[in-house]
Structure formats: C-alpha cells, structure tokens
Amino acid sequence: MEIEIATIGGYEEVGRQMTAVRAGDDVVIFDMGLNLSQVLIHDNVETERMHSLDLIDMGAIPDDRVMSDLEGDVQAIVPTHGHLDHIGAISKLAHRYDAPIVATPFTIELVKQQIESEQKFGVENDLIKMDPGETMSIGDSGKVDLEFVNVTHSIIDAINPVLHTPEGAVVYGLDKRMDHTPVLGDPIDMERFREIGREGEGVLCYIEDCTNAGRKGRTPSENVAREHLRDTLYSMEDYDGGIVATTFSSHIARVKSLVEFADDIGRQPVLLGRSMEKYSGTAERLDFVDFPTDLGMFGHRKSVDRTFKRIMNEGKENFLPVVTGHQGEPRAMLTRMARGETPYELDNGDKVVFSARVIPEPTNEGQRYQAEKLLGMQGARIYDDIHVSGHMNQEGHYQMLEALQPQNIIPAHQDLEHLAKYIDLAENQGYQLGRDLHATRNGNLIQLVE
C-alpha cells in the first residue's frame, strides 16, 4: 500500500499545524490549526468574517492547496487536542472536505463552539466523538484503522492519533508531556506506545513535536506546578489585601489547583474573562472537573465589572480572582486591571501570580513586560513562572524513540532552529538526515512507501 505524508502547516512555525497521511486511497488529516500571532500582529482583525485565502496569505491558517496533489479521499479530520494552533482553522478549511471531524469529547465541544462562532462559512462536517483507547475503521479497504492513544498535555482530553496500515503504524505525536501523575485525567499510555512499536510491522513513521527538543532532562509533571502553586498561595495566607492569579484559560488542571488553594487560604475563587468562562464552563459541563458549586465564572464585560465592584465592596481580602492575561495580551482582564480600567483597585503590596511562562516570542515578551510594568506602578508584587511546560524535553523524546522504534521520523511543530535540535537528538540515536529522518517545510509531500 502506498503511504504518503503531506506536511501542510506547522513545519516552519509554531501554529497552524496540519498534516495529511495517505494510505492507499484513504487520507486522514491531523490538525487544522491557527497561527494566532499572525492574526494578533494586525490590529482589529476579526477572523470570524475573513475568507480562507486571505488568512492563508497572512500565514494564519495552513495553505492546504497541496492537498490537490494527494490522490485519495479524505476520510477523517482529526484534531489532537483543543489548543487553537491545532483546531483554530477548522472553521475555515473543514468545509472543503467531505469528511467527519473525529476527536475526543472535550476537543469536539471546543470545535463545535468554534464552528458556531464562524460567520463566513457554513461548516457542516459531522462531529464524531471518540475516546482515548478506542479505534475506528478508515475507508472501505478494511486495512486501515485509526486509534487514539491517551497522552498528557496542558489541556485535558489530549490524544496522539495512530493510523494503522499494512505497512506499519503512522504515529502523529503532537503535543504531549510525559506525565505519570497528572492532576486531571489519566497518565500517558506508554504501555500502548510500546506495544504499537512491537506489534505487526512496527512503526513506519513518527511525526514528532520538537518544541522542547533543545531542553535537557525531563519536563516535570503537572503535580510539580501544583505543589509550587500550593507553596506560593499558602505563603500568602495571612495577607489581608488583594491577590490576583492568571493562567492559560484552557489549562483546566491549573485552574482547578488555583480554585482549590484559594479555598484553602480562605478566599472565594472567581473566574473572570471570556475565555476563562468558556473553557472552565465547558470542562465542568462535560464532567471533566468538579468545581465548588458556588464558583463564579463571568465572561461578559458587564458581569465582570459587577463582580469587581462586589469584591471591592465586600473586601479584596475575601476573594481570589483568576483572570485572563498571562501573556500581557492588551485586551485581556489582567492588562485592563493593570491600566486601571476595571473597578478592582490594586494597592501597594497586592500580589499578582503568573501561573504561566512567557511564550518566547517578541510580541508576547513585549506585551508581558508592559503589563508587569503597569502592575508594578500600582504597587503590585509579581510572582512568575509557576508553571511546567506541556511539551517533552529531551529525555521524553529519547523514551518515545525507545518505545516506538520508528523506521522514519518527521520533526514538526517548530521553525528550522528547533527542528535542527531534534535532528541532532535523533541522529544521536542512529537516524540519518535524508535517509530515515526527514526535515521538511510547509507544503511538501513525502512518499514513504511507493
């Protein structure tokens, strides 16, 4: 059976991930992501109303025109998890393919919300939920199956999809951290990866996320970030002024830890900001997390301002607002608080906890610097980097290669600088660039079996 890989997006940048795998006559697409930084750099761009070709020209969504060179029928579109760089282009591209979108329940729900907010295209692809550990048949040959292997990442319900073909398995490895003690959900299923590496024809190809390939050692478990957060918030137990925390709103495990520790130190947690309400509300509705029944979540400007007024009236020392704005995004809640645009007044000595790392990208770095400066001018004390990455460091990559023993590797999810670090790592393990290690760019086809 012919096996061909189209590396469509995310091979020159972080963002707009998209890869297609053809097995005989059947094609499966993995991820359809958005490169948010290409959108945010323009003022007032509303992607909801924009046409796909304009977004492709901006570098915001994958240029999927290479798909016309792939001779087969798309049978499924499979986003691996709910981060925007993996699902953010579905509302702009999925309608061009007569295929269902297959994903885990939390991811499907986020895809559904995105399709509902789309204003340019009617996206009518079927949405199919599939849980980690489950398998479905692809196409009519009876020889190709899609399996979801449970992985751990900075968002719940993440999987690595595996396409089983007569020539071996194609494992799509974006994005994961090797977490054996996650705060929410099951540990990464390394046992299944080891089985896949040894059964049948083994692994024909491993497509891997290189984000942290330049970092030594092991990425710690989410439990480590949780304990760091516990230590930080418990140290503030006697403080009788304002404490504000921020983190990735899609990081439900982290939000859960913040909510618990706020309670522990005698403060009522409250989630504020549009995306805080969206992700935590969705996770709670789908029973992925148990929040206290009286946990307030407010997204709309008016209800947020009303909550801030209530906090100021009843005393800041009784509350712990968890807000958006960990990267200093100009329109996010924390930045508005820093500019004095909300009823919440910061006083000298008030604490601001960043349970996030600055995404190392000039726009983020500049905006975060500005937000911290503004907070500092109001007397706020900053606690930063209370975080662990959602991506594996070098030792995780070595363990995956050991488990899967892939015949071919395609590094992905980064620019050339980071791909090169993974290439070094893989060459240390006996792979050779141009032979079984394929460095590539957006828009290429790699034929593995002719």
Is 418 assigned a ligand-binding role in the annotation? no
Helices marked H in 222-317 — which ranges? Answer: 222-234, 252-264, 274-285, 301-314
Number of residues that bind Zn ion (CB under 5 A): 2
| Residues 6+ positions from 434 with CB-CB distance below 8 Å | none
Is position 208 an interface residue for Zn ion (rule: CB under 5 A)?
Answer: no
β-strands 101-103, 127-129 pairing = parallel
Residue span binding Zn ion (CB under 5 A) among the ranges 14-22, 29-37, 81-89, 433-441: 81-89
CB 325 within 8 A of CB 355: no
Min separation Cβ 280 and Zn ion, Å: 18
Candidates 76-84, 246-254, 280-288, 327-335 — which segment interacts with Zn ion by CB under 5 A?
76-84
Contact window for Zn ion (CB under 5 A) among 80-88, 141-149, 202-210, 279-287: 80-88
CB of 211 to Zn ion, least distance (A): 9
Pair type for strands 26-30 and 18-23:
antiparallel
List the structure tokens of 209. 């996320």
Of residues 107 and 307, the one with the C-beta less far from Zn ion: 107
Query: Which of 321, 390 has the CB closer to Zn ion?
Result: 390
Scanning 11-19, 75-83, 179-187, 250-258 for contacts with Zn ion by CB under 5 A, the matching segment is: 75-83
Contact at 8 Å (CB) between 218 and 393?
A: yes
Token digits for 343? Answer: 């009823």
Contact 4, 25 (CB under 8 A): no
Q: Which is nearer to Zn ion, 247 or 307 (CB)?
A: 247
Q: At what angle do helices 274-285 and 105-117 cross, to 10 degrees?
A: 140
Q: Is residue 300 annotated as involved in ligand binding? A: no
Question: 391: annotated binding-site residue?
Answer: yes
Residue 104 or 342 having the CB closest to Zn ion: 104
Q: Is 83 annotated as a binding residue?
A: yes
| 189 appears as a binding residue in the annotation | no
Q: Least distance in Å: CB of 381 to Zn ion?
A: 31
- Report the interhelical angle of 190-198 vs 394-404 (nearest 10°): 40
Q: Which stretch binds Zn ion (CB under 5 A): 17-25, 83-91, 269-277, 283-291?
A: 83-91
**Residue number, 87 or 101, with CB nearest to Zn ion:** 87
Q: Assign 3-class secondary structure to 180-221.
A: CCCCCCCCCCHHHHHHHHHCCCCEEEEEEECCCCCCCCCCCC
389: annotated binding-site residue?
yes
175 is in an annotated binding site: yes
Name which of 83 and 316 has its Cβ closer to Zn ion: 83
- Is 251 annotated as a binding-site member? no
83 vs 267 by CB, closer to Zn ion: 83
Q: Which residue has the tokens 């997390």?
A: 289
**What are the strands of the beta sheet with 168-172, ordered from one edge?**
135-137, 145-150, 159-165, 168-172, 203-209, 408-412
The H or E element that residue 444 is part of is strand 444-449
The nearer residue to Zn ion, 24 or 79, going by C-beta atoms, is 79
Does 83 interact with Zn ion (rule: CB under 5 A)?
yes
- Residue 167 C-beta: closest distance to Zn ion, Å: 28
Site residues for Zn ion, 166-185, by CB under 5 A, read 175
197 assigned to a ligand binding site = no
Strands (E), 68-209: 73-78, 101-103, 127-129, 135-137, 145-150, 159-165, 168-172, 203-209
Residues placed in the known binding site: 81, 83, 85-86, 153, 175, 387-391, 413
What are the residues binding Zn ion (CB under 5 A)?
A: 83, 175
Residues placed in the known binding site for substrate: 387-391
Residues placed in the known binding site for Zn(2+): 81, 83, 85-86, 153, 175, 413
